[in-house]
Amino acid sequence: MSDTPVLDDSDRTEIHDLLTTYAFGLDRRDFARVASVFTEDAEVHNVFDSYLPDGEKFSGLTTGGDAVADGARQLFGNLDATQHLLGAQSVDITDTGAKASTQIVAHHHRGGDHYHTGGTYEDDLVRTPDGWRISRRTLRISWTTGSPQVFLAP
């Protein structure tokens, strides 16, 4: 028998459900759900490709699930609607948990304006007594369309 950890189908399903919970939490403005997918000391990095207009205004590091949820509450507070679509995904076991990579397209609307983004969530996950949680996330935005003023205007 091998001592190498293996992700079974129930692990993969739980991780998929965790990532879906985050997307629905954002879109439904259920920030308690957003916080619940992260460990208390999770690190979340937002990284916009350098060529993207105003990308540096959205790049940065947030620590902790509650802080991520508070940041999302502030960022999405003036928006009329959002929709976060999850695409292709890979999940692999590691010595300390799992790694997931998930494609994302996010639609953000305010009035007649929009700001759509595409990129990838790169997650490190750990198994906790409450199930799988994200301990580290890097959101890499590789393209945008529309106006970042959707977020930046008062």
CB 86 within 8 A of CB 102: yes
pLDDT of residue 152: 82
CB 48 within 8 A of CB 138: no
Distance, CA of 149 to CA of 110 (rounded, Å):
9
Taking only the tens place, the pLDDT of each residue in 100-136 is 999 999 999 999 999 999 999 999 999 999 999 999 9
Q: How many CA atoms lie within 13 A of 43 on its CB side?
A: 7
The candidate with the shortest Cα–Cα distance to 34, out of 72, 5, 7, 8, is 72
Q: Whole-prediction pTM value?
A: 0.90
Looking at residue 108, its amino acid is H
pLDDT of residue 14: 96
